[in-house]
Amino acid sequence: MVLLKTIVIAYKKTNLAKLRYLQQKKNMYRSKITGLGKYVPENIVTNDDLSKLMDTNDAWIQERTGIKERRHIKKGDGNSTAIMGVKAAKIALERAKIDKNKIELIVFATLSPDYYFPGCGVQVQDLLELPTVPAIDVRNQCSGFVYALSIADQYIKTGMYQNILVIGSENHSGGLDMTTRGRSVSVIFGDGAGAVVVSRSENDSQGILSTHMHSEGVHAKELALIGPSTAHWVPQIIKENTTATDDDITYYPYMNGQFVFKNAVTRFSEVIMEGLLQNNLKKEDIDMLIPHQANLRISQFIQKKFGLEDNQVFNNIQHYGNTTAASIPIALTEAWEQGKIKKDDTVVLAAFGSGFTWASAVIKW
Ligand code: UT7
């Protein structure tokens, strides 16, 4: 009898949950970006500066990547991945005109966290002195910010949270091989952070229209940093070979540049198209495309393929290099600061990178 009663109660509860879910589904909320911020270290490193450390030159770097300079954290300047993220987040919060205590979730994207664990999200919770809100760390490299934005969007859509802080931040310079051996990778990457506040939209026709994510792990090692990892603990290496720590190239990022390039142009195009189709939009409806800043040649290829004008695509890789998870929020912030994104514009974010992972977001600003 007691068992039967328990089953009946459980059945009723399940149906209630189903009902609530269906009600929510009907009343799905829309999320929108209400504040943006960026932070880059003051230390500018030009291509000529790099040519003093390795066999490279300004002409090669500009011709192959479009990069003129990047920012690197300087020893003693007090920056780290989490700290730069906090600096960008403070600006985003101020611009969103929101009390930081209203933030209900932190989503932090990076491939260069301050610690192996825990991730930077909890550091942000502490440094910003937020209440004990949850913090999710996203490990999707160049697509990290769009993945993080997608996570935030889902939580707002379902009604679970109303205000979420999304951060992308990278400290690449501390982990690059600054010798000729590492030149094909090291000249590309830079440090910096970008952040956005994502909030429930009062207006259903405004905000994030859709997000799209993909991965293809068969290519994981084509752009990767293998050590340190659980397959490659530092103490083991030291035990086995005391000189290994400096010479072991698995401690530096590896990239099969041309292979990554070829995949990037294909996947960028696909995922942008996917976003447009989902929203019944055409190429000409794009007011601003913010591609992940991987290589100016990739952005130009995409621009040509989609027949977009210069004012429809935003690039700033020339000044910051590739800042991975930070590149889209930095570019989005700069485009917005320069008045290049206006109310009602259709903004498309698109990324591709290590994993491989790729993603896009379509936003009605
Ligand atoms: O953000 C994640 C996604 N990332 C990307 O999508 C990046 C995709 N790949 C690329 O952007 C390009 O492949 C690179 C910029 C990385 C390289 O450009 P590339 O045109 O593919 O050059 P390459 O690797 O084929 O190298 C051409 C030559 C080589 O010399 P040899 O073998 O022809 O004598 C390299 O050793 O350039 C040499 N090289 C350099 N020379 C001067 C490589 N790096 C450098 C350098 N300075 N920094």
> Per residue in 340-359, pLDDT tens?
999 999 999 999 999 999 99
**What mean pLDDT value characterizes the chain?**
92
Lowest average pLDDT, out of 12-21, 193-202, 258-267, goes to 12-21
Share of the chain above pLDDT 90, in %: 84
For ligand 1, say whether the CB of 294 is within 6 Å of any of its atoms. Answer: yes
> Ligand 1: does its nearest atom lie under 6 Å from the Cβ of 293?
no
Residue that has been written with the tokens 């142009």 in this structure: 265
Report the nearest atom of ligand 1 relative to the CA of 65. Answer: 15
Which element (helix H / strand E) includes 208? strand 207-215
Q: Which atom of ligand 1 is nearest to the CA of 264?
A: 6
The closest residue, in CA terms, to atom 26 on ligand 1 is: 184
The CATH code for residues 2-11+206-364 is 3.40.47.10
* 9 or 203: which leads in pLDDT: 203
Closest ligand 1 atom, residue 322 Cα: 1
Q: Can you give the pLDDT at residue 237?
A: 61
Select which of 292, 295, 315, 319 is catalytic.
292
Domain 2-11+206-364 matches domain 30-201 at the CATH topology level:
yes
Question: Residue 365: helix, strand or coil by DSSP?
Answer: coil
pLDDT at 1: 47
| Whether the CB of 33 sits within 6 Å of ligand 1 | no
pLDDT of residue 229: 84
The yes-or-no answer on residue 232 being catalytic is no
Beta strands 163-170 and 135-138 are: unpaired
Statement: residue 55 has pLDDT above 70: yes
What is the structure's pLDDT at 247? 72
Please check the confidence at residue 27 and state whether its pLDDT lies above 80. Answer: no
Residue with tokens 């205590």: 101
**In ligand 1, which atom is closest to the CA atom of 50?**
48
State the average pLDDT over residues 117-129.
98
Q: Is 120 an annotated catalytic residue?
A: no
57 is catalytic: no
Is the CB of residue 56 below 6 angstroms from any atom belonging to ligand 1?
Answer: yes
Q: Is 184 in the pocket of ligand 1 (CB under 6 A)?
A: yes
Residue 7's pLDDT is 47
Is the sign of the CA dihedral 229, 223, 191, 340 positive or negative? negative
pLDDT band at 244 (very low <50, low <70, confident <90, very high): very low
pLDDT digit string, tens, across residues 289-331: 999 999 999 999 999 999 999 999 999 999 999 999 999 999 9
pLDDT of residue 66: 98
Give 76-109 pLDDT, tens digit per residue: 999 999 999 999 999 999 999 999 999 999 999 9
Cα-based distances in Å from 353 to 12, 317, 325, 358: 46, 15, 10, 6
Per the structure block, which two tokens stand in for 103?
A: 């933030």
Q: Is ligand 1 within 6 A of the CB of residue 219?
A: no
Average of per-residue pLDDT across 236-259: 75
Structure tokens, 3: 């068992």
Q: Which of 63, 261, 293 to mutate to test the pocket of ligand 1 (most atoms within 8 A of CB)?
A: 261
Q: Is 167 touching ligand 1 by the criterion CB < 6 Å?
A: no
Whether the per-residue pLDDT at 127 is higher than 70: the answer is: yes
Which pLDDT tens digit goes with each residue over 182-240?
A: 999 999 999 999 999 999 998 888 999 999 999 999 999 999 999 878 877 766 666 66
Neighbours of 130 (CB within 10 A): 19
Residue ranges of the domains in the chain?
A: 2-11+206-364, 30-201
**Does the beta carbon of 183 sit less than 6 angstroms from any atom of ligand 1?**
yes
pLDDT at 74 over 50: yes
Tell the residue nearest (CA) to atom 21 of ligand 1: 258
- CB 223, CB 254: distance < 8 Å: yes
Q: Which of 140, 142, 163, 263 is catalytic?
A: 142
State the distance from the centre of ligand 1 to the C-alpha of 220, rounded, in angstroms.
19
Residue the block writes with tokens 């000249």: 187
Q: Using CA atoms, how far apart are residues 167 and 152, in angstroms rounded to an integer?
A: 11
pLDDT of residue 25: 53
Output the six-digit token pair for 60. 């090669």
Burial (0-12, 13-18, 19+ Cβ within 10 Å), 203: exposed
Tell me which of 58, 65, 110, 184 to substitute to probe ligand 1's pocket, judged by most ligand atoms within 8 Å of the beta carbon.
184
- pLDDT score recorded for residue 230: 83
Q: Which of 13-17, 119-123, 134-138 has the lowest mean pLDDT?
A: 13-17
pLDDT at residue 228, as a whole number: 79
Question: What's this model's pTM, rounded to 2 decimal places?
Answer: 0.92
Is residue 327 within 8 Å of 144, Cβ to Cβ? no
Only one residue has tokens 């994030």, namely 208
Which fold would CATH assign to domain 30-201?
Peroxisomal Thiolase; Chain A, domain 1 (3.40.47)
Is the CB of 267 within 6 Å of ligand 1? no
